[in-house]
Structure 1
Amino acid sequence: METALIRLVGVRYPIVQTGMGWVAGPRLVSAAANAGALGILASATMPLDRLREAVREVRSRTWAPFGVNLRADAGDAADRVRILLEEGVRVASFALAPSSGLIAELKAAGVVVIPSVGARRHAEKVAAWGADAVLVQGGAGGGHTGEVATSVLLPQVVDAVRIPVVAAGGFFDGRGLVAALAYGAAGVAMGTRFLLTSDSTVPDAVKARYLAATVRDVTVTRAVDGLPHRMLRSEPGDGAGAVGPDPRPHARGAAGGFRRLSGLTWRQLLQDGLALRHGKDLSWSQTLLAANTPMLLKSAMVDGRTDLGVMAAGQVAGVIGDLPSCAELVERITREAEEVLTGLEKLRGAR
């Protein structure tokens, strides 16, 4: 099963573990890489010195390729890029589209650039700027997401660009991998499915909440920061609002907490908030929350506070029922994909 993604980044299987804040740390990333997938380290929630340490820790755990996810609009993005170049990271992924200059800088250093997009026009833009591949997330994906279903968005993007396309949003098994390949994708990216593995450092109580969820317990809300955010409801099956207490009154305190944790200055934090606010109808309290939603995620993903934290979740959380290791998961997905492909070949032979 050799695809353009495999040839581009040098992994064994066309599977990407996405860069989830507070979740995609060195342990999960190295486990995914050792399993043959492309592990992506989430850097946005790390101070600069911790980012360098984390990259070195991943490298100490695996010889396989891995990448780092960046926020192109972060106030210290240039410093983070410098660390990637100094540490010899081979792949840079982006939650928001990087500038043409940043893409050129990374490519000149031999780094593979893979921005994430949620619309065809964004894919066309970054492809024209020189991106090596693009990760396309449909509406079923967790965290900040769009309205277009993966099954509609993916073929649009595949037809629009001539670089490898990685499909995200709604993938968790071998059937989905084959479906994505049939649409023309070069692989699939999964967040929630890798979050729910034994290699993930997310607290057991939080994982239990995910495993207990049905598809009706995963919803999209603007209550977190004014932007569409797919996550678990506050209580499984209650049909109530998506989050518990209104987080907006705590915006200033959360902003201060994230500033201290990340090492950002107030000016950098304000710049990040303004970048998020650009082109969106957000109040200033929502802007502050958008800038430090990572603190709300940390409450659940690190501290285990399911009552206070935000549990970003792809819609697939409602159909996942186990916690395999990354190695077991990747082996299962590739085996299922081969079985599906064999079945399809039999259909052709029967004609």
Structure 2
Amino acid sequence: MNHFETIGRQFSEFPSEGITYFYNMKKTHLLDDLEKMLNQGITDSSLIDPLFEFYKKTPMYDYTSMHKELLNKFLEIIIDFEASHTGVVVDKEKLYFFKTLNEIVSSNFIGAISSWELSINERQRINGGAYTFVDIINELPENSIKKPIKYNYTKNQFLDVLIKKYPRIIKPDFFDLFTSVNGVDAIGLLACGLKNVQVSQTIIHYNNVLEFNRMFGQEIINSLCIINESIIKDYPEVATTITNPKERQIGKMLSSSTLGVINPVLSGVLGQSTSGYSGLYSTYSDMFDRDNSKFDIKYPQYLAIIESGSLTDIQLKAHILLGIHSLRNKVLHDFNDTLCYYSNATLFLKTIGLLLAGISITPSLR
């Protein structure tokens, strides 16, 4: 039996040892090659290409810790090289960008924003230009990032129905959605896209285990609510009608005094949620009741109406805005892990779909 047959048999019995063995071998090669390239005077982004190839071949959720270690090792070697070679500055833009993705996958949003800012600074330093979101899409690994995000976006049951019935309103591709938002909202949406991959691929297998749904619900549902609310805050009419920034909350922004200025027809359909309910708020008032049993009865009915395809375009927008408002209230003011969408995987995934559909709508309320 030759050496490779011996290793193969050993690792077939102990697969985790095989992963560690081959990872350490790959890590050694990558780091050795990095140092050789630096010593050859290579300081542009091609330094990161071997690491990029490793990223493309290894799913981010399955190899997060390995990616994190390699990123940190690469940065350590490059920064040490810069320190010992006066006047030499290495292009670290792509490295910081990959670190952004890794932090997103690790649910470290603060770390992701920090790495993202460093990536932007590198782009400006090297090229003197801004880092656009088209640049982000072009640099994302196709198989390990873009394809899974796109697939799980379009395969969401709720979104699939809306994309087919309202193609003029609901964006059919996640990255069309991504380029419709800006700044921190875009990074937050990318984080939710990656998280949706993880949720969609695992939640059904947990057979409605409350602990699993609750863990992800606190993160992805709250994050999507915040993104939708943040997009609405960017309308100039919000600043002119709600002068105190601390009062720019979802309820006030959707009131007739603000939404009515942005789009009076849409506001008329949605109605009022203050000083008595009117419009859709009256129809679905149970979704705002403190008695969560009323929400649990009304919410599935509300989703079914949207999925029926019987709404006009303006009615669809109003319904989705109402859902965003209701869910934002629940996760912010009245978190209760017994709500129907925490104990039902199908409702949970539809809720994610609803909030993603919201991001197709909130940038185009006019």
TM-score using structure 2 length: 0.24
Q: Which has the higher contact order (CA 8 A, sep 6+)?
A: 1
1 or 2, which has the higher strand percentage?
Answer: 1
Q: Which has the larger radius of gyration?
A: 2
TM-score using structure 1 length: 0.25
